[in-house]
Structure 1
Amino acid sequence: MLKKLLVIPTTLFSVLVSAAISTILSVSLHAQEMADADITVQPAAGGVYMLQGPGGNIGVLATDQGLLLVDDKFAPLAEKIEAAMKGIEDKELKYVINTHYHGDHTGGNQFFSHKAPIFAHENVRSRLSSKTDHKVASLPVVTYKDGITIYLANEEIQLTHLTNGHTDGDTYVYFKKAKVLHTGDLFFEVGFPYVDLDSGGSVKGYLANVKHMLKNTPDDVVIIPGHGKLTDKSQMLAFAKMMEFSINKVSAALAAGKSEQQILNEGIGEKYQHLSWAFITEEKWLKTLVADLK
């Protein structure tokens, strides 16, 4: 008796092969990018530095009593991050902070957890532990609900949780003596923000959180954004105005009965369309606004 053979149509077979090749190439290119990546170091103020490379921006406090790390990018970059830190001050790592749970900010947790305790909002540990591929060693071991303060050498590091902005587990980190603010992904200097609606994010909550940081930090604060270049309060204020404009524009369009497609066709307007970037295009930003505000 002959067994029936599964016959895949030629067109479908081609699609499947193309998809498989694309996935393999994507993984291969990502691995190559990590291998080729450099971690650059830029002074912010006091003993605080910004480290850049693929993924979210890192903050480092360097003191003669040890180091403190804010976020740790992707796992393959961990040793390069450590080398960059040691290049600033060859001291022991004392503390690690996760500003939220996304992989481009927590990927190095497993490596660094063996060197220092990881601090994060309780929702960060919850979301990381819910991932099927998570490792226990990658989880924060000190969690908090509203915030916590860490003292290292003569610096006071204030960790403050703000609800439902980029995610439901966001923390901003303020170095009080140095007057440096690490916003995590509550500020994208590079362009339109990513609001993770599936992880408790909210566009109105995000704007409220940006306004909170503006109100509760000094005017001469140096800002390390989640993505983008080292910046200042004037740029974060402009970012808040863009968000407010976007929310008001889309809210009014929805109230007038306009469809998502009509809103996309109208666009964000000339003043802000230049803020479209590789990850969050103008279209994606508008779709996020519609999804959250409708």
Structure 2
Amino acid sequence: MESRTRRQMLRVAAGGAVGAAIGLPALRFTAARAQPASGVATLPLGDTLHLVTVGGTNVVAQTGPGGVVLVDGASGANSQSLLDAVAALPASGPVHTLFNTHWHPEQTGSNERLTASGATIIAQENTRLWLATDITYPWDGQRFEPLPDAAQPNLTFYDEGELDSGVRYGYLRHSAHTDGDLYVHFPDENVLAVGGAASGAGWPLVDWWTGGWIGGIVGTMELLLDITDAGTRIVPAHGTVLTRADLESQYTMYNTIYERLAGLLNSGRGPDEAVAARPTQEFDAQMGPSEEFVRRAFESLWAYLSPDA
């Protein structure tokens, strides 16, 4: 897989995007937005691999004789419901490994409970740092207090790693959602769990306060296309399971939006003017109302493209 710097990725994002938007393949996220945000649902992804959706958050569970591997732990309010659903899966057992795909509460709500039972909590190092930090979003004042020491990831990494079972994980370094995004690949089933780095439920949150940005979405889509094939199933944090063709559509779409927003920034426009310019207009029918996404995506450019950044 070719390694690209952020500057190289920016050149990719800026080049040829509008032309690529012509003939964009159909996006298919409208139905995903209608999914209930409560309750528990399970979907088999293989003999020992399962998708458990609880409170609208997707969790991947691999069961087996040695116990359970989980990718994400749902929110604290939904932790018990998740663990009850996992315990009821075929060939289930104790959870021995939990991945936090990023720091958000919908991914880390089972950390303390599972650490107390002896599980290994794996995260990218930036995720651990955010979980030890008091965070207040500037756009709505929402505050997130640091997790207690007992809930912190106890195994962190910088680039990539592999479990004894052959499950591989790696850093999504372009920062689509946060600057601590990771993926987990289950090679036997060709399933890739990516957390908030992709969305199957409409427009994603661009959490620029903790490193995410619209250019990072473009770079991450490109990276995911490099490490998947036509048969890979991609599990996002929310919404429907994606195919590689879905990623190709998203890559083209976000490329187009990135170029438009960067042009507005470079011409001295602000967030309100970016929203008024409707840079997502041909995608809104499939993806949903876009004002919040456009505003956060435009603001994310300040940290990465402003001359004094």
TM-score (norm 2): 0.76
2:112 touches 2:151 (CA, 8 Å); kept in 1? yes
What is aligned with 2:19? Answer: none
> d(CA) in 2 for partners of 1:94 and 1:292?
36
Matched ranges for 1:154-169 at <5 A: 156-163=166-173, 164-169=175-180
- What runs of 5+ residues in structure 1 fail to find an aligned partner? 1-35
Question: 1:206 offset after TM fit, Å?
Answer: 2.3
Structure of greater relative contact order (alpha carbons < 8 Å, 6+ residues apart) = 2
Larger Rg: 1
What is aligned with 2:66? Answer: 65
Question: 1:228 offset after TM fit, Å?
Answer: 0.5
> d(CA) in 2 for partners of 1:166 and 1:158?
20
> d(CA) in 2 for partners of 1:135 and 1:225?
27
Q: 1:93 corresponds to which letter in structure 2? A: V
Question: 1:189 offset after TM fit, Å?
Answer: 1.1
Question: 1:229 offset after TM fit, Å?
Answer: 1.1
What is aligned with 2:101? Answer: 99
> d(CA) in 2 for partners of 1:181 and 1:110?
25
> d(CA) in 2 for partners of 1:266 and 1:84?
45
Provide, for residues 22-71 of structure 1, a one-character-per-residue CA deviation record: whole Å limited to 9, x for no partner. xxxxxxxxxxxxxx942211112342211112253101111232210110
What is aligned with 1:40? Answer: 41
Alignment match of 2:290 (pick from 259, 266, 282): 282
Matched ranges for 1:46-125 at <5 A: 46-88=47-89, 89-115=91-117, 116-125=119-128
Question: 1:157 offset after TM fit, Å?
Answer: 1.1
Provide, for residues 143-186 of structure 1, a one-character-per-residue CA deviation record: whole Å limited to 9, x for no partner. 1111211123xxx2111012232111111111111100101101
What is aligned with 2:247? Answer: 236
Alignment match of 2:213 (pick from 181, 185, 202): 202
Identity of aligned residues (%): 22
> d(CA) in 2 for partners of 1:186 and 1:147?
16
Deviates more, 1:249-258 or 1:189-198: 249-258
Matched residues, number: 253
> d(CA) in 2 for partners of 1:260 and 1:108?
36
TM-score (norm 1): 0.80
1:190 touches 1:275 (CA, 8 Å); kept in 2? no
> d(CA) in 2 for partners of 1:90 and 1:263?
49
1:136 maps to 2:146 = no
> d(CA) in 1 for partners of 2:61 and 2:104?
19
